Amino acid sequence: MKWKTLALSLPILLSGLVIVALIKPAREYMADSNGSELYQKNCATCHGANLYDGGMAQSLLDGVWQFGDGRGYVTRNIKFGIPHIGMPSYEKTLTEKEIEDIVDFLYSQETAAGAKKPDPPKMIETLDYEIGTEIWVDNLDIPWAIVFLNENTALITERPGNLRMVVDGQLLPEPVAGIPEVLAEGQGGLMDVNIDPNYSSNGWIYLSYSHALEKKPAEKRPAAMTRIVRGRIRDMKWTDEEVLYEAPHETYRFTRHHYGCRIVFDKKGYMYFSIGERGAQEQAQDPTRPNGKIHRIYPDGRVPEDNPFADVGLPTLYTLGNRNPQGVSVHPSTDEIWAAEHGPLGGDELNLIRKGINYGWPEISYGKNYNGSILTEYTRKEGYEQPALYWKPSIAVCGIEFYQGEAFPKWNNKLLVTALKYEEVRLLDIEGDRVMHQELILKNFGRVRDAGMDPEGNIYVVVNKPDRIIKLFPIGER
């Protein structure tokens, strides 16, 4: 018996009504109740006495992590529930220890967590196309981003600190030598890779990564912040490196999460990059701090003179109040910048990025703190921009990319949106500043970190757990 996945939150529907499992008060349980007994009393009615035979909800060993891959997600799903699909909250009926015992039981089965995800089917049907799939590259180490240099060659970043090259569909065995040293701790490491709009003539390649200062004697660990560099690759070696952005060292932080960071270019000659608030949410509102912001510079590192916060803060700042934007993309027709950012427990956002706008974090939010407590009473407030779209519960939105290509012409100017927790790729139809429609085109084959296109427009989906790249290509129209 192989461990599949924990589907703690699938729809429980009967005659159009949501059925919620009956829950006994936790105080009725004996102090020595173990996870197996607690599961039978609270979970078996819906998910099946044997975990795999299901009930009103699907099996917990069905091969699909629907709402988060990992103990933290599982614990939160049990504790806070997922109301929109009928998964009840056990926060008031089970103690922290009892919830922990249930999670221990689920992970202690012979099929322990972490088993290999199934491969996607050879053909997927969408509203517009029949799509073929293939595992393009496998056995990577936490891939984070992908960009194509030409029709035959792609670069992939691995978060632990490797820049990998794929030539004619084959992953070269050795990474590019000599790239900057990264701080590969927590959510940090080597993040985005992009190429200059004039790459064919100048060869510039751009990287974002977590950069650490030298640890001082009194410090337990070094301070770190997001850094941007560019360089060229010659004979599989990183050369001609230039540091384009390095935050003031006094703003570096000792946390190891919420670094951002995506890099994009518009047609006016500007480069944009994102930095998460690094866990210091109040600093997202502080224009003297780099974190929790979208930045704008020129590709050579120069700072535009008309950046909006130069008189009151850091000259590179373009927006304020962005929690952790791990998705940024430029609309091919309008040249507008769009960004997707992680919310806390609920409240992932898609924002149209405009000069000088404050996007509100943490003054307004559609989410809660991870412990379920109130983060802010406000979802709207004067002076703060509303998102074009928000997801509640959070899908753990990550990389986004406007589609442009000949492979799927009906999708041109539509936005590919990836999600870690929900393990999916969505296609959004955007009209002006409004999202008109969302379509799910891929789900349940790993945590999706990014999506990119080759020059023909075939789509490459960057997946974690398992660490691979899935290629999507057209078979026929519908």
What pTM does this model have?
0.83
Q: Which residues contact 327 (CB under 8 A, 6 or more apart)?
A: 262, 339, 340, 341, 397, 398, 399, 400, 417, 418
Q: In 3D, which of 152, 150, 146 has the Cα closest to residue 164?
A: 146
CA-CA distance, 327 to 261, in Å (whole number)? 8
Q: What is the pLDDT of residue 4?
A: 35
Report the side by side order of strands in the sheet with 237-246.
Answer: 190-195, 205-212, 224-234, 237-246
Q: Per residue in 130-146, pLDDT tens? A: 999 999 999 999 999 99
CA-CA distance, 147 to 451, in Å (whole number)? 9
Q: Per residue in 3-37, pLDDT tens? A: 333 333 333 333 332 333 333 333 333 334 588 88
Q: In 3D, which of 147, 5, 19 has the Cα closest to residue 451?
A: 147
Q: What is the pLDDT of residue 60?
A: 64
* 112 has a pLDDT exceeding 60: no
The DSSP letter of residue 186 is T
* Count of Cβ atoms closer than 10 Å to residue 125 Cβ: 12
For residue 189, what are its two tokens?
A: 């490491």
* 461 has a pLDDT exceeding 70: yes
Q: What is the pLDDT of residue 74?
A: 84
Name the percent of the chain lying above pLDDT 90.
Answer: 73
For residue 209, what are its two tokens?
A: 């990564």
Q: What is the pLDDT of residue 66?
A: 60
* Average pLDDT for 437-447: 95
Domains and CATH numbers, the chain: 13-107 (1.10.760.10), 123-477 (2.120.10.30)
With bands split at pLDDT 50, 70 and 90, how would you rate the model's confidence at 41? confident
Q: What is the pLDDT of residue 16?
A: 32
With bands split at pLDDT 50, 70 and 90, how would you rate the model's confidence at 45? low
Name the percent of the chain lying above pLDDT 70.
Answer: 85
Q: Which residues contact 198 (CB under 8 A, 6 or more apart)?
A: 204
- 109 vs 101 pLDDT, higher one: 101
With bands split at pLDDT 50, 70 and 90, how would you rate the model's confidence at 192? very high
Q: Per residue in 405-435, pLDDT tens? A: 999 999 999 999 999 989 999 999 999 999 9
Q: In 3D, which of 184, 187, 181, 140 has the Cα closest to residue 164?
A: 140
With bands split at pLDDT 50, 70 and 90, how would you rate the model's confidence at 456? very high
Q: Which of 47, 84, 257, 258 is catalytic?
A: 258
The DSSP letter of residue 181 is P
The residue behind tokens 């950012």 is 341
Q: What is the pLDDT of residue 5?
A: 37
* Average pLDDT for 111-123: 72
Q: Is 258 a catalytic residue?
A: yes
Q: Per residue in 277-336, pLDDT tens? A: 999 999 999 999 999 999 999 999 999 999 999 999 999 999 999 999 999 999 999 999
**Mean pLDDT score across all residues of the chain:** 88
